[in-house]
Chain A
């Protein structure tokens, strides 16, 4: 009965390195969402994906950030050439999709990224 899984839970990178965050949705869920929480703030939507498709990336920064959800394996949020302002908690959520009555989103434990 696994929920949404994220790894790593904590990630430390130096400025200029790449960060890769992974998310495995709940069993039976094919819709994945990424949110970012800056220190002392609420969560902000970044991107919504279904298998092999990006549906809405209106919250993604224009540069350095990308996301994918391949046919097999977890969803990946990739941040290239990290800067100190990327330090945040990144949460993944999943749902079964509106077409299957899946209105509720379930969240993973988050990945806390620290950029030195």
Chain B
């Protein structure tokens, strides 16, 4: 099956710092989504981004499907950004999402 790897696995930032999270996948996909799982366990949709670049406030994401990776940028991080960030992909021809291993982010004041 398709492999989805995220890096780094853990990240500690001071409030106000910027960061880049990476998602690599091993096969062609027609769907890629980024999620934030907050400390209460809720999954929040951040981006649906099978290709190209999108921005939403302090967050932006870029997917280069031909090179099989996606990047999530967090600027001016806040303590509320803490949690686990997952990317998930859907392989062409399938419906299910395959989740990556996650990046655990801790933003300290």
User: What would be 29 A-B contacts, judged by CB atoms less than 8 Å apart?
Assistant: A31-B95, A33-B95, A33-B96, A35-B97, A42-B100, A42-B101, A43-B86, A43-B88, A43-B97, A45-B96, A48-B96, A55-B95, A56-B95, A58-B96, A89-B41, A91-B43, A93-B97, A98-B95, A103-B30, A103-B48, A104-B31, A104-B45, A105-B33, A105-B97, A106-B45, A107-B43, A109-B42, A110-B41, A110-B42
- The smallest beta-carbon distance between A55 and chain B, in angstroms, is 7
A33 and B88 CA atoms in complex are apart in Å by 14
Q: SS class of chain B's interface: helix, strand, loop or mixed?
A: strand
Number of interface residues of A (CB under 8 A): 24
Number of interface residues of B (CB under 8 A): 22
Q: SS class of chain A's interface: helix, strand, loop or mixed?
A: strand
A residues contacting B by CB (< 8 A) are: 31, 33, 35, 42-45, 48, 55-56, 58-59, 89, 91, 93, 98, 103-107, 109-110, 112
Chain A contacts of B50 at CB under 8 A? 103
The answer to whether B98 and A104 touch across the interface, beta carbons within 8 angstroms, is: no
Chain A contacts of B86 at CB under 8 A? 42-43
The 9 closest A-B pairs by CB, nearest first: A45-B96, A104-B48, A42-B99, A107-B43, A43-B99, A103-B31, A48-B95, A109-B42, A42-B102
